[in-house]
Amino acid sequence: MTGSPCRRRWLPGARLNYAGNVLRHAYGPHADQEAVIAVAEGRETSRTTWRQLARQVGAFEGWLRARGVQPGDRVAGVVCNGLEALVAMLACSSLGAVWSSASPDFGVQATEDRFGQIEPRVLVAVNGYSFNGKRFERAEQIQQLADRIPSVEAVAVIRQLAEAPMPEGDRFVPWDQALAAHDGASPTFTPLPANQPLYILFSSGTTGRPKCIVHGAGGILLNHAKELILHGDVSMGDRFFYFTTCGWMMWNWQVSALLAGATLVVYNGSPGHPDVGMLWRLAEAERLTHFGTSARFLAACRKAGIEPGHDQDLSALRVVFSTGSPLVPEDYDWFYSAVSRNILLGSIAGGTDICGCFVGSNPLLPVRRGEIQGPLLGADVTAFDEAGQPTDGRGELVCRQPLPSMPVAFWNDPDGRRYHEAYFDTFPGIWAHGDFIGFTEAGGAIIYGRSDAVLNPGGVRIGTAEIYRQVDTETGIADSLVAGRPADGDVEVVLLVVPAEGVTVDDELRQRLRQRVRDGASPRHVPRHIIAVDDIPYTRSGKKVELAATRMLRGDGKAENRAALSNPESLDSLRTTLKAAGLLPAMEPR
């Protein structure tokens, strides 16, 4: 590996294996209990026991070894959130190879931007997928990707769509054939140092090629066990679900629920097909104890007026996790009215950089409206002001002591310079995460948005999430984005809104929004401009790209990496709308 290891080392001298820890339940009294239930649009539900899961992991590890894959080699997956992705990742871990994955809805360029940097020897890929009732064939894209990454020697192809074509050529081997060739082989669970790379995650890459973030097996084991077992209250026999794709760190996080002996329920498809109640029906059908989703999904349920707790039997459900963006207070109100008063609503916040959380849920503490419950065990997090001093107000989220799951390295960063610049340049020796946070008197936390998107009208720093908290309560607004526009030596707040179906953004609605922001946040937060747009730019992991609008309004000419966006066409529409509104600088680059 050409990355520079983190200066902090956990479990020095220890030798361990992530897959061996996860699959220990395959060799005891629970071996014939369900380990994985895979649900997908366009596919029959599969149910796999612990014993069967270990058998498939051993078979795929055998196939990888037959291809010459050794510890430290990379294996990359363009895969759906299903059984095969789990098997592939655990097989890599068992032999000491390094796993990395992306969702099949990524374009060829976006996928090459990621995997081309880490030079995988083997690809695992689906021949297509179903989403929102539509089929998407991917044989041609997989062929192109394999051709564009010279290091790829073999491709295991999962027939996700039974009737879709498969890539052709000697390098392409059907998944079932790969498993059958080594059926009966046992996982080796090769003991390796704790800092042995387990997987490589990627930053969103909206401003250039994504950073390749290397996570070590020992640190992930320690931190995920803490977060899921202690903070998440996950235990043997629970049924754990998190809506995610294989291109988001929450996929890696949810896999670790297997550590606790929970049955993992995975889903591939749209969370809104045929309607937003679908996942709640899945929760009832599979008797889920843990249900993971995003704040955006919960807000969509609230605005749709559904009442899952009245329409479905959710009596088995104990914990609902939410991440991706801050939960507004009204989502807490909706949840405890429409879902259940007896479920822990656990808002959690962290990131790809630590493949985990800094602040989040705690089953021993009360849930307070509009607050994350508090810092996680062992996470020395606080807010720093601009001078690098702890503040009782809002400031930069920092972590003053190392966490086990901080990256062991960035790939292709031999002197550690990029690693240092990413986290330790702002406050020397202190991890600055890039979020704007505040802590309440009760010990709870509130995320106010990304610190690089913090606005500064009148010299007062305000977080964009404070404006979203007010705008999201307006039923006439389907989505929104906040940005700052330079004006006369100050900053104007610009609010871009996507109106709900049948709603017109007129002066009356604008005035109502301004008053709501004034009353609920402060006069400094009130938008100077409120503009209707067709769409809001999002990363492929579901994060709003506020900097895209900010850069347009500043005219700084920095182009977004369109391949990193789930809806790159939104940038063109956004630029046209801002220009028509007269908000772009006269010399704003085309």
Rounded to 5 degrees, what are φ and ψ at 166?
A: -110, 150
Rounded CA-CA distance 197/509 in Å is 52
Summarize the confidence of residues 191-212 as an average pLDDT. Answer: 87
Cβ-in-10-Å burial (0-12, 13-18, 19+) of 275 comes to: exposed
Domains of the chain (ranges plus CATH)?
454-580 (3.30.300.30)
DSSP 192-248: EETTSEEEEEE---TTSSPPEEEEEHHHHHHHHHIIIIIIS---TT-EEEE---TTS
Across the chain, mean pLDDT equals 91
Condensed to tens digits (0 to 9), the pLDDT of residues 381-440 reads 999 998 999 998 889 999 999 999 999 999 999 999 999 999 999 999 899 998 889 999
- Give yes or no for a contact between 124 and 78, defined as CB atoms under 8 angstroms apart: yes
- Give yes or no for a contact between 419 and 409, defined as CB atoms under 8 angstroms apart: yes
Rounded to 5 degrees, what are φ and ψ at 309?
A: -70, -25
- Give yes or no for a contact between 97 and 72, defined as CB atoms under 8 angstroms apart: yes
E strand residue ranges, 342-476: 344-347, 349-351, 356-360, 374-375, 381-384, 395-399, 409-410, 431-439, 445-450
- Give yes or no for a contact between 51 and 24, defined as CB atoms under 8 angstroms apart: no
Quote the percentage of the chain above a pLDDT of 70.
Answer: 96
Rounded CA-CA distance 177/129 in Å is 20
Rounded CA-CA distance 244/292 in Å is 9
- Range in 293-302, 410-419, 456-465, 494-503 the model is least confident about: 456-465
Condensed to tens digits (0 to 9), the pLDDT of residues 19-70 reads 999 999 999 999 999 999 999 998 999 999 999 999 999 999 999 999 999 9
pLDDT of 3 over the 50 cut: no
Rounded CA-CA distance 543/554 in Å is 21
- Range in 445-454, 476-485, 558-567 the model is least confident about: 558-567
- In the chain, the largest separation of any two C-alpha atoms, in whole Å, equals 72
Cα–chain-centroid distance for residue 149? 25
Give the CA radius of gyration of the chain: 23
